[in-house]
Structure 1
């Protein structure tokens, strides 16, 4: 008897992980990706303990990754009225002992290729150039039609197609994204000498601006600026060359300390993108089709939990399939309804807290006005003032990694 075919829309970060889990459980996942080939969109990811705990269940995957374990947190203020180090701690180096995994900075393109390679080695079919345009369901299957005219039929469909999910649009209609007022510009640069001693996540704060950087391998550091600016498109693609040159030559960040100016000057390509909010969904499924990752709960990047939350989605959905359909047979719509409902019951509240927490974190990082910036600086000093305070911060972070909430996490 043929294995149960599952259609996965999207071969970004979540799609291959889900496919690998489903393959382990006896399903036959097929990934359909709208782009013609693997893209180089995006910069980097910080894989956190909750995400690493999930993907470590895939034999050999974590060991194959080229990245940099994070050892140090540095907070620095460029506010002229309150300039200097706010906090400097090696707390990240102790995460593995506390949570089983540490934090790992990786280049997004390298990580993406590692996932695709793992999927191909597992015998998972990936079809590029297939943009989903419609879905037709019956009691036993779903037929997907693609923009190129091809069709595919599977037992059920999982939409892993990201921020601009076509699966989500098919299920719930097109939605209006709302610009948050914040945009980011970032790049990848050779790691400055000042940051070589320890692999450091560095947060640098100005008046109405924020700069974050962390290593993504032994030699390179990924960084991004956040500012309040007129609306910018959410493309995650490279800026044109003139705009890149102007940023590297005229940016306010060139004068900042702790290696910030050097990172800006020496970057390769620069990308710029607006940060947008999307409506929160009360359900992620209809019939035999369900959403996962950014397709279900898109988030701003300020907690670094986007990919990590997608991995949690993959893990729980696979566990529920194994519990309620242990033979990996063709599931009835009734069984899928139970699985998808239980999946949503656990994941919607958690992911919603993460989205709200990331939004608050962005607002706190990009404070405007001297008094507001000083208050933010004092809050950071208070959190990291001594071992006891750091321990309390750890407890909040532990709740995040234990799947409760990351709304107040200062990381």
Structure 2
């Protein structure tokens, strides 16, 4: 039986981050209602910046979210700008100002995570988000699922979507315990106020400085009010997997000692950096069980080296809503179709993102020189077209998952 009226399914979304709110917004557009259960007392997105590539931008535009977001977003003019660690020499750069829209029908933007979360929140029905609701267990009872919360409350649903991140409670219930490996890497993140950032970092550019065992990415966000930094380095023994773990500017600087003085100056201008471990999770062979499924990082956590984590959550949300709308009478079958459409693509992205860490972190030597020379012969905007041209709402992609 579907819901109290036997009609549309009752859908519970665990997690009120970007993936969870995107799911609720796309379900609303499809004529379905999802209730978001978020453990925090308020909707807020920790972290800092992210890239909204064309594959995500076109979906956000259709959802009516991109317009408001552009009030604070930065439209990139240059991307994939690789620079050598010691002297900042540009190895390659992509003209995004014209090529991106010509190739993929959308531009590439950078945004603050909080701005994207706020824009998605506007597309969710009033009253659809329940705050302070920490799901601690779920129990599949035939065609219904019982949810238990930390405060003792209980709820039931026909469909449960786990959008509760890398430490997902729902993932554990669907996939069971899974081995987690230490990647040997940690990530630093920080914001630099625009007025303190050097001019090269304020450009509408996504720049990647690559060197032995390390790389650093920076780009402006929030209309240029901040420059977002995210850097990768060998993990120390005290790194933890958390968006809120702190570090000091001195620790951040120590990892990039000897790098181009301009980059060192940019790091020195950072405020309150964070540091977290990158844990290695193999792709799941399946992420649905009956009326329960996963979405975003709960389903396919990936290294951030292709800047596709949030974009893939948005794609998941669009496909999930379409599958449930087209097969509302049999949610379990709809979820199997959703998984079949999404799993090959997200697995491929997990794998290529994982491999990129080795490419970016080569020590100086013959392999590094060959890599640097290859940058002039490749066009990452074209070579990665399988990422950016993908449209889950296009008939061409509804039965194929590149």
Matched position secondary structure for 1:20: helix
Q: Deviations over 1:193-236 (max 9, x none)?
A: 43377401111112221111111132321111111233521111
CA distance in 1, matches of 2:40, 2:179: 23
The aligned counterpart of 1:174 is 177
Match of 1:164 among 156, 164, 167: 167
The aligned counterpart of 1:106 is 111
Which residues in structure 2 correspond to 1:256-405 (within 5 Å)? 256-257=260-261, 259-325=262-328, 331=329, 335-383=330-378, 390=379, 393-403=380-390
Answering whether residue 242 of structure 2 is matched by residue 235 of structure 1, we say yes
The aligned counterpart of 1:78 is 85
Shift of 1:24: 2.1
CA distance in 2, matches of 1:168, 1:249: 37
Shift of 1:396: 2.3
TM-score (norm 2): 0.87
Answering whether residue 137 of structure 2 is matched by residue 134 of structure 1, we say yes
Q: Deviations over 1:265-323 (max 9, x none)?
A: 11122110111111322211111111111111111100001111111111111111222
Match of 2:47 among 37, 42, 47: 42
TM-score (norm 1): 0.86
Q: Is the 8 A contact 2:9 2:331 kept in 1?
A: no
The aligned counterpart of 2:12 is 7
Matched position secondary structure for 2:55: helix
Q: Is the 8 A contact 1:3 1:26 kept in 2?
A: no
Number of residue pairs matched?
379
Unpaired runs of at least 5, structure 2: 392-402
CA distance in 2, matches of 1:26, 1:315: 13
Match of 2:36 among 28, 31, 34: 31
Q: Which runs of 4+ in 1 moved over 4 A?
A: 248-251
Residues 212-221 or 350-359, more deviating: 212-221
Shift of 1:337: 2.9
CA distance in 1, matches of 2:312, 2:45: 22
CA distance in 2, matches of 1:113, 1:197: 24
Q: Is the 8 A contact 1:212 1:224 kept in 2?
A: yes
Match of 1:68 among 71, 74, 86: 74
Unpaired runs of at least 5, structure 1: 326-330, 384-389, 405-411
Q: Is the 8 A contact 1:181 1:229 kept in 2?
A: yes
CA distance in 2, matches of 1:145, 1:95: 46
Would the alpha carbon gap of residues 251 and 353 (structure 1) be closer, same or farther in structure 2, given more than 3 Å must change?
Answer: closer
Match of 2:24 among 19, 38, 44: 19
The aligned counterpart of 1:408 is none
Q: Is the 8 A contact 1:8 1:157 kept in 2?
A: yes
Matched position secondary structure for 1:354: helix
Shift of 1:3: 5.5
The aligned counterpart of 1:386 is none
Shift of 1:362: 1.6
CA distance in 1, matches of 2:94, 2:143: 55
Q: Is the 8 A contact 2:9 2:158 kept in 1?
A: yes
Q: CA RMSD in A?
A: 2.2
Residues 216-225 or 367-376, more deviating: 367-376
